[in-house]
Amino acid sequence: MKAIEWLGIPGTAAIVLVGLFFIMQIIGEIIEFFGKVSPEFLKIRKYFSRKRKEKEENQQMLKECQKLLSEFNSHYNNDNITKRNDWMNDVNNSVKNNDQLIQTLDAKMDKLLVVNEDLATQLDQVKSNVLENEADRLRAELFDCGNRCRRNIRLHPEEMEHIRATFHKYSKVLHQNGPGEVEFNFILDYYNHQDFPTYHQPNN
């Protein structure tokens, strides 16, 4: 107090200054305390917030698991298993029936192919027989005309045109030659060397 009086500061003012000093010290201590405590408090708050969020997520996951379990149980209960087994039996029976039908169809197709091959062979044989018979008929017609020529029977132009068409079919269409071609040449030579009336001309 003497020092304060020596400095010439009134006692009241000195008390106020000392009080302000102590108040500032207290405020500084409080600020320092909260400066240390606040980060820890925030960490604790974040920890509880995270735990609360994890708890909510776990509860949601538990609900989803319960829902899946319920659906699984409803799908695989005894009634559904029986229905599924019945359905699988029906499918297996259908597959077996289809396999049997396919085997039967394959067997019939094999038989049909054999029949078709036989039929094709028979048709080829019939075609060959028809062509051969036609060739024999045309050859016989050429030889019949040749025999008439050998008996010196007159061969008219109309008959020669018919013989020419007959030989063309025999040679070009049926691709025959040999005796038929020799006979046609004989007929043509006979026709060209026979005596023609004045209104007929030799044919080449």
> For position 40, what pLDDT does the model report?
58
- Decide: 175 and 187 in contact? Cβ < 8 Å: no
Question: Could you report the per-residue pLDDT of 3-38, keeping only the tens digit for each?
Answer: 455 555 555 666 776 677 778 777 767 766 655 555
Q: Which residues of 93-124 are buried (b: 16+ CB within 10 A; e: fewer)?
A: eeeeeeeeeeeeeeeeeeeeeeeeeeeeeeee
Question: Could you report the per-residue pLDDT of 115-169, keeping only the tens digit for each?
Answer: 767 777 777 777 777 778 888 888 889 999 999 999 999 999 999 999 999 999 8
For the CA atoms of the chain, what is the radius of gyration? Answer: 64
**CA distance linking residue 199 with residue 163, whole number of Å:** 20
Q: Mean pLDDT: which of 132-136, 139-143, 193-197, 200-204 is highest?
A: 139-143
> For position 184, what pLDDT does the model report?
92
Average pLDDT over residues 183-204: 75
- Decide: 11 and 1 in contact? Cβ < 8 Å: yes
Return the higher-pLDDT residue of 201 and 3.
201
DSSP codes of every residue in 33-71: HHHHHHHHHHHHHHHHHHHHHHHHHHHHHHHHHHHHHHH
**CA distance linking residue 191 with residue 183, whole number of Å:** 12
Indicate if the pLDDT at residue 199 is higher than 50: no
Indicate if the pLDDT at residue 2 is higher than 50: no
**What 8-state DSSP symbol labels residue 174?**
S
Residues 6+ apart with CB under 8 A from 156: 200
Tell how far CA 202 is from the center of its chain: 73
| Alpha-carbon separation of residue 106 from 26, 27, 109, 116, 173 (angstroms) | 107, 104, 5, 15, 42
> For position 89, what pLDDT does the model report?
75
> For position 18, what pLDDT does the model report?
67
Max Cα distance, the chain (Å): 191
**CA distance linking residue 165 with residue 180, whole number of Å:** 13
Question: Could you report the per-residue pLDDT of 61-85, keeping only the tens digit for each?
Answer: 888 877 877 776 666 555 666 766 7
